[in-house]
A and B are shown apart, each in its own frame.
Chain A
């Protein structure tokens, strides 16, 4: 059974990824900012195959202590890491404030960089040919008013992932970004119906990206079905072209 570390599993896409992985017989170490009814239901259905770690990723050193020192330790081999946790600080650039910008970079960028360090070390210790998947956003590739700061955090992940692939490829550790389109999750809840319609009209399919499509692509990238896929950005975005 493969052990996968997934962040941001309380709700939305992270919850869906966790559900998909559990259904396909993975063991999930899921990092959540807190418990939700849906997450508790998953726990009751899957028992020991879901290990919930309650941690605030904005507290980088504290969360690494909780995840790696207290929970995973040296004896659990990690086969995959899904960097899903993120916050969105949306505003036009002329209104930019440093504090929320810094917090977003802690959660969306600095924390996943540090988690990747520990994930790679774990994979080296256990001789695992592992897979890392970062959840990116189509906003990196297509401009959206108000998303400059958020898009920049995901762009940082895409650059980080590509070099992770290059640096660790000879150890057969893979790294890819899943570039997700706009989904109907809590992260887009602040958008008005009109704003959402405008976003969806820019897609080929004229509709939101399905969480299920994203979660299944994550599972593909984690699995041995994708052994030759690394350093890539895989778009699951209703065809935003």
Chain B
């Protein structure tokens, strides 16, 4: 590098860094303090974790004692059992879903209480009791058994689950009947289900009860959060993606929806709801995959407001905010938010990267291509190497413009352009030369071209070498971007 260049570098610094202000000291100190608070919280949790557990255990015991004294042992025991996934007559099970809270309806002296609905991967167990404190015939289990008839569970979409087995017993000297009914497992994303049964009243009339049972996850984490809305149904397809409404608000007469997308696949780095495949004219709202339909079936136009896809892939969560483009008072509730698809950027660990081997069939002539049919299949991706072309120019060279320079660096002398076919939902594939894992040269710098930017159905990747590579070249797929079709739908309602 000569002196002129060095001098020019100084000018470049002056024109860039020199025109950029330093951070305000107040801001630097404030952020440092904030980080310190984060650290303190983290350290605190580790340092006092054991002590906290001991204290929490003591507090729990004390709480149980107080509750037993106030409420009586049987109710407290039932509540604890419910929280711990214990089902009378079944034992402790690992629940995927449990009833949010018991539900009671009364008809005259008779009350029906659904104590629990526990959904595991193998079954759904419903526990309910019937109480008739003044019943003189209550000592006969048959009379209670005949009180409820034809019970079943009905999903919001109308799907019915008929009982598989049932059992019951008399309690409280015949004034209470507790029954347990087993069903097939409900879908793990179920947020509510109806318990439907016919109830024979002492008056002789027959009434059909339909109790909506709200479910929460077995670990007691909420299916949805927020104070002023009710999420009554969540359809999740496919299983590894969960879309939920984290909150709803009204700002300047517009509906604001906070949507969270959670995923399980550790290879997914980024999830977006923007529709990259649809070009967005400058100044127009960004195309996205979400839509809202109100109770009348009218489409509510919404815009993607802000998006906070996690910067850390380990969080496996993305956060989006949508804003209605029409006043909230023109929207009929309940409304339904639908996410038709998501855009996923995926990264494959080295051990999972599918590879294919390329060996030239003919002489390597720049500008010529070889048509191939090699398929690569892994758990995550299926792609076919359709064509390999030998490049005689360096696409990267054009990036820096014309001119000579860079004497100490040799320009790439050799290039391969790979064309791959893959399912249409895959929009970009990142291909690497495995030789680069063990040696810097000869191995390829690489660049991939997204499907929507290309002019054909094939995905491409370009690999540039300083010298002709050692044949065969073994390529691997390091990651890919794809569109995962939904839809995911969430029905929601404003309570006030």
- Do A and B bind? no
Query: Using a CB–CB distance below 8 Å, which chain B residues touch chain A?
Result: none
